[in-house]
Amino acid sequence: MRTRYEADAVVTVDAAGSIHRPGALDVEDGAISWVGPGDAATPAPAEVVRLGGLIMPGLVNTHAHTPMTLVRSAGDGLPLERWLREAVWPREAALTGDDVRWGMLLGCEEMLRAGVTTTCEMYLHGRAVVDAALEAGIRCVLTPGIFDLPGSGLTWQRCLDDARRLHLDYEGRAGLVTVGVGPHSAYLLPTEGLEAVAIMAGETGGLVQIHLAETEEEGLGIEATHGCSAPALLERLGLLDQRVLAAHSVWLSDADLDVFARHDVAVAHCPQSNGKLGSGVARVAEMLARGLRVGLGTDGPASNDNLDLWEELRLAPLLARAVAADPAAIGTAEALVLATRGGAEALGLPTGSLEPGRHADFIRLDIDDPVFVPTLDDTELLAHLVWAASSRLVTDVWVGGRRVVRDRACTTIDAAAACREGATRARRLADAART
């Protein structure tokens, strides 16, 4: 059945930047069938839902380790390598699949209420991650983590075998799940492991998500070991011949950016996590100028420490403008694209904008709020969305046409149970890490 949603404003984030005030959106079989001005709507379908407010695409989180809600804020103040080895990995070594399920549900509740409708996940216990995502009703790109985890008995070979099975079992499930592969990094996998990942990705066509050039120390280590930068190493090993999403991508030279452009490598920009860990600021404006596909990511809620992509949406252009000393370094419309259509393009998904044929992943914002005063024209409306709005204004969320948040409450997750279970399991992990 076709359903029409009418709003005071529809911000499409299509290539033309179309805004309709008022506007309408038709949804049929989980996809958008029509969008346009309210006075140009085709004959009304049987069901018309008058929403008011503002409709826009759901946000796309291109890089997350959502079950890390269970280790939120651990190791605060440590640089990346010490943070991983001293605070995170000792706790993760004690994780069970049920822990991961509850951690993922807790994070999905947080993301959905913030208007995030798609997340790209890299973590352990992939089945628990994707089962929880399906339970929550969020769109999920799963890139199962490939690495050796000290103290857990996990090896990259075992992880890769499990990733193959996950692809066979879950690819396309419920129209919400896409399965790729997630080699942790060029410094945690041997060259034969990275080559094996490239072979698997070539066979499945799945997305390869990898942490890359996150810190200066990482780059220096790769240079000392292999005699080249991390992007050059991955190019040499054939990994960049696949569909690659490079998370962080902070410490890149001009030559590295050329490598990215040559292989159409997409980037998951995580400004808040990079800032909290003191990793640096990525050269996003230069990436966009070279035509690279760039989306925004929260990273894990242990290095951020939340899953609110609205904060990344604002921080990314602020940092770019501050570093360049140029208020035009990343424009307001460009910033909104990063959080929506840009992220979808980085992941290779037909979402992130309100256009016929795309997934009906959209959100409603309450614009009867002081931060939307004044709104004299479309330019001001867009500026308010990027610079003044926040997740607190998200009232309702749809994924594939299904309403998963209604009146600011998630309809698919028992939030109280998730909080209770998350707290109990986090305490056990912390105790295990101390023994």
Domains and CATH numbers, the chain: 3-57+360-410 (2.30.40.10), 59-347 (3.20.20.140)
**C-alpha gyration radius of the chain:** 21
Tokens of 77: 């103040």
Distances (CA, A) of 214 to 4, 229, 230, 246, 412: 44, 12, 10, 10, 35
List of long-range contacts for 170-174, beta carbons under 8 Å, 24+ apart: 170/127, 170/130, 170/142, 171/204, 171/206, 173/130, 173/134, 174/134
Mind listing the pLDDT tens digit of every residue in the chain (435 residues)? 899 999 999 999 999 999 999 999 999 999 999 999 988 777 878 799 999 999 999 999 999 999 999 999 888 888 888 888 899 989 988 999 999 999 999 999 999 999 999 999 999 899 999 999 999 999 999 999 998 866 667 899 999 999 999 999 999 999 999 999 999 999 999 999 999 999 999 999 999 999 999 999 999 999 999 999 999 999 999 999 999 999 999 999 999 999 999 999 999 999 999 999 999 999 999 999 999 999 999 999 999 999 999 999 999 999 999 999 999 999 999 999 999 999 999 999 999 999 999 999 999 999 999 999 999 999 999 999 999 999 999 999 999 999 999 999 999 999 999 999 999 999 999 998 887
Q: How far apart are CA 300 and CA 161, in angstroms?
A: 24
**Contact of 145 with 121, CB cutoff 8 Å:** no
Handedness of CA 94, 126, 343, 394 (dihedral sign): negative
Q: At what angle do helices 126-136 and 97-113 cross, to 10 degrees?
A: 40
Q: How far apart are CA 185 and CA 79, in angstroms?
A: 17
**pTM of the full structure:** 0.97
Write the CB contacts of 57 (distance below 8 Å, at least 6 apart in sequence): 11, 12, 13, 117, 340, 341, 351, 352, 353, 354, 361, 362, 363
Q: How far apart are CA 193 and CA 334, in angstroms?
A: 37
